Each structure stands twice: as C-alpha cells, then as structure tokens.
Amino acid sequence: MAQNKKLILTAGPSITNLEKKYVNDAVSNGWNENFNGYLIKLENTFKKFFKIKYALPTSSCTAALHLILLGLGIKKGDEVIVPDMTWVATASVVRYVGAKPIFTDINKETWTMCPESLKKKITSKTKVIIPVHLYGHPCNMDEIMKIANKNKIHVVEDAAPAIGAKFKNKLVGTFGVASAFSFQGAKLVVAGEGGIILTSNLNLFKKIKQLAAHGRTNKKNKNTFWIEKVGYKYAMSNIQAALCLAQFNRLKELISKKRKIFSWYSHYLKDLKKIKLNKENHPAKSVYWMTTIYIQKSKQRLLASNLAKKLKKKMIDSRPVFPSISTYPMWKSKNNYFSKEFSKYSLNLPSGHDLNKKTVKYISKSLIQILSKDLDNFRN
C-alpha cells in the first residue's frame, strides 16, 4: 500500500464559483443602503426552509446560544442541563449568564444526550435543557421534549453541526423554543465564522435582536443611536452572510457528499470488528458532518490519541473527539460517565468535502493495518 505524500486533512469546505460570485458582489456592492442585503436574504431563506417565524444571523453559534439564554432570562441560581460530550461553548454560555451547567451522560448508541440520564438531573432549579446533535446526528427529540414538557422546562437546541439533519422527518432546530447553528470554517455550511438563531417566539426574538445590537432600540421617537440596555456586538457581517447563503443554497449537495463519504467508510470498514462507526439510529437522519469511530473494548485496546499518532505517520490527519467536559477544572464535577470512556477511545476521521473514494479506501486500509494484522478480509 503506497503511502500518501500529502497530509489528508480532517475537514475542509467545498467552495465553488457560486460562493465567489456572492462574496465578490457583497464586497463590491454591499455597502451603505445595501449593507445588509445578504443578511436579509439569509434570514428569509432560513425562515422558509425551516418553516420558522424568525431568524437572526450572529457572529458565532456561541453568541447565538448566549443570546438565547439571556432572552429567556436565565440567571444566577438557575440550572441548565447540557450533555457531557460537546464543545465547551454549550456549557460556557451557561456560566456567561451566571447559571450552573449540569451534565448528563450520552447514549451509548447515538453518543448524544441520554434521556434516562437527563431525567435524573432535573431539579426545581432546572430552567433549560440544551441537547446537542453531536457530529450531525440528531438526539432523541421525542424523549427529550416529553421530559421537558412534563417538567415545564425550555429546550434550546445546539444544532451547531447538524444543519439539515432530521428526527422523524422533522428538521432539527425546530423542536424547542429556539435553536442555534454554526457556520464556523470546518462545519457543513461555512461562513468562515458565524451562527444563526431560529425561533417562532416573538417576545424572545425581540429581546435577542436588541441584545445582539448593543441594546439599541428601534423606537421611532428615539435617536438612531439610542441604547436602552447593555447589549453585545454579536452581528454577522454582510460578507459572511453572502458566503453562507451560497453554501446554504447547495445544502442538498453538501449533505449528499457527507453521506457518501460515510458510506465509503462503512463499506471498507465493515469487517473491522474492533471499531464502531457513528451510524444513524432510526428514526434519526444524520448529515454525517464528521465520520467518527469508537474503538471497542478488547485486550489490546488502543487509545484514540495513540491511533492518531499512527495515522499521522501515514499522512492521515484525524481529530480527537471532545473531552468529557465535566472533567474540566472549572466545573468541579465528579461524574463517572460513558462519555469519559468515549472521549478516550474515539476519533474523528477525515471528512472534508474534497475526499474521494480512493482516499477513503487508503484511510480505511491504514486503519485496518494498524488495528488488525489480518488484511485478508479487506473489502474491495
């Protein structure tokens, strides 16, 4: 097996002439009276696609989550439940507003928020549940919504990596009171950086829109620069919106490629029993933002960090999954969750849009070579 000469990267966007056309137009013409043209188009496109009433582009998904919690009035003394397996921002925004993040374990099949663990974490102080659709796979939203509704708790979806994913044919981002998506440079749809808030709650939307613009008011009898409350600079730029809109207009194509990449891995790694892939769990439909493997228990089990080093020698980049975030020093949490084991033995494989079948075959064969000495059953 000939070694690849160039490092195969873990992620990477798909940029075409459409993105260049939109961005060039925004750079050339998106000023003065046209300063928000692409922002308005992006908002309207999202509202139509998700069948939601309000959309607000933001500077990041972190900013979006922060604004939602502020808009819901979450404060010191409140508790917000988040999964133990996610990017730290999901919990950090809880601290931003003075509340306490409470961590749930993850489901062993989907690697998303475990409903049974969630039930045990609810107290009289619980005000919000933030499920995360990890690596593009939807959470069990039926169970989570049932638990939340029974206890009269808001659900805010962190759908950062899961744009276009569905649960029971319903788009993620449309279940709770609000949701947040990410357009960071490694995501399915990119804008370099950026995020968006979706909600059909008018009162919430009014609050977050004002907070995102320094607390500025739009009352007719007030000065253009009149500020009513302390707010934030959380706006997306028109140029970012142009790039994002072009990407979103190709969403079907981008999801199709991600699902194809996963299908190639699934085919080539089918006989490698030492690993488990993040296959979608019915009735969820994943967008497979990141193809991820979990190294099963065995006598000679390899840590994901060691596997990453071995892959790097074969010019294959990989990405560790998130650490169990309850183990971070600032939380003072003592959970003994499956998420801790998962973080030690799981790895994101190269999943960029530019991957082809031949490259995925090389990566798969390299994995088999590392994890198993027998290549006789390798699938051609």
Does residue 379 sit within a domain? no
Q: Are residues 228 and 266 in the same domain?
A: no
Looking up tokens 């979608």 gives: 280
**Beta-carbon neighbour count of residue 239 at 10 Å?**
19
Q: Is residue 260 part of a domain?
A: yes
The predicted model gives 348-354 an average pLDDT of 96
Segment 142-165 mean pLDDT: 98
The pLDDT score that the predictor gives to residue 375 is: 42
Share of the chain above pLDDT 70, in %: 97
Q: How far is CA 212 from CA 230, 236, 377, in A?
A: 10, 10, 56
Say whether both 243 and 265 belong to one domain: no
Token digits of residue 361: 């075959």
- The DSSP string of 137-195 is PPP-HHHHHHHHHHHT-EEEEE-TT-TT-EETTEETTSSSSEEEEE-BTTSSS--BS-E
pLDDT beyond 60 at 378: no
What domain range includes position 182? 17-248
User: Does pLDDT of 328 surpass 70?
Assistant: yes
The verdict on residue 29 lying in a domain is yes
- One domain, residues 226 and 264: no
Query: pLDDT at position 376, please?
Result: 43
257 residue type, one letter: K
Rounded-to-integer distance, Cα 362 and Cα 2, Å? 9
Whether residue 296 is found in the same domain as residue 160: no
Which among 194, 229, 248 is the end of a domain? 248
The predicted-structure confidence for 168-211, as pLDDT tens digits, reads as follows 999 999 999 999 999 999 999 999 999 999 999 999 999 999 99
> Do both 272 and 236 map to the same domain?
no
Q: What is the CATH number of the domain that holds 361?
A: 3.90.1150.10
Could you give the CA distance from residue 139 to residue 159 in angstroms, rounded to a whole number?
A: 10
CA distance 352 to 280: 19
Rounded to an integer, what distance in angstroms lies between the CA atom of residue 225 and that of residue 216?
Answer: 7
- Range from 6-15, 240-249, 334-343 carrying the lowest mean pLDDT: 334-343
Q: Structure tokens of 277?
A: 């892939």
Q: Is 324 found in the same domain as 200?
A: no
Are 231 and 361 in the same domain? no
Q: Domains in the chain: how many in total? A: 2
Report the pLDDT value the prediction gives residue 301, as an integer from 0 to 100.
86
Residue at which a domain ends, from 248, 278, 303: 248
Asked if residue 378 belongs to a domain, the reply is no
Which tens digits make up the pLDDT trace of 104-139?
999 999 999 999 999 999 999 999 999 999 999 999
Q: Are both 197 and 332 inside the same structural domain? A: no
Question: Is position 2 within any domain?
Answer: no
Question: In this structure, is residue 1 part of a structural domain?
Answer: no
Is residue 39 within 8 Å of 55, Cβ to Cβ? no
Sign of the dihedral through C-alpha 36, 41, 42, 47 = positive
Please name which of 189, 166, 178, 145 lies closest in space to residue 18, comparing C-alpha atoms: 189
Identify residue 65 by its one-letter amino acid code.
L
Residue 267: inside a domain, yes or no?
Answer: yes
Residues 33 and 52 placed together within one structural domain of the fold: yes
Question: Is the residue at 9 inside a domain?
Answer: no
Task: Give yes or no: residues 23 and 167 share one domain.
Answer: yes
What lies within 8 Å, CB to CB, of 306 at 6+ separation is none
CB 137 within 8 A of CB 111: yes
Say which residue, 266 or 3, is predicted with more confidence: 266
As a whole number, mean pLDDT of residues 269-294 equals 96
Which residues are CB-neighbours of 192 under 8 A, at least 6 positions away?
183, 184, 185, 240, 243
Residue 380 pLDDT > 50? no
CATH number of the domain within which 187 lies? 3.40.640.10
Verify that 27 and 165 share a domain, yes or no: yes
Which of 219, 248, 277 is the C-terminal boundary of a domain?
248
> Which of 102, 95, 91 shows the shortest CA–CA distance to 74?
95
Residues 243 and 255 in one domain: no
- Work out whether the CA dihedral 356, 361, 364, 369 comes out positive or negative: negative
Q: Does the pLDDT of residue 59 top 60, yes or no? A: yes
Cα–Cα distance measured from residue 269 to residue 361, given in angstroms and rounded to the nearest whole number: 9
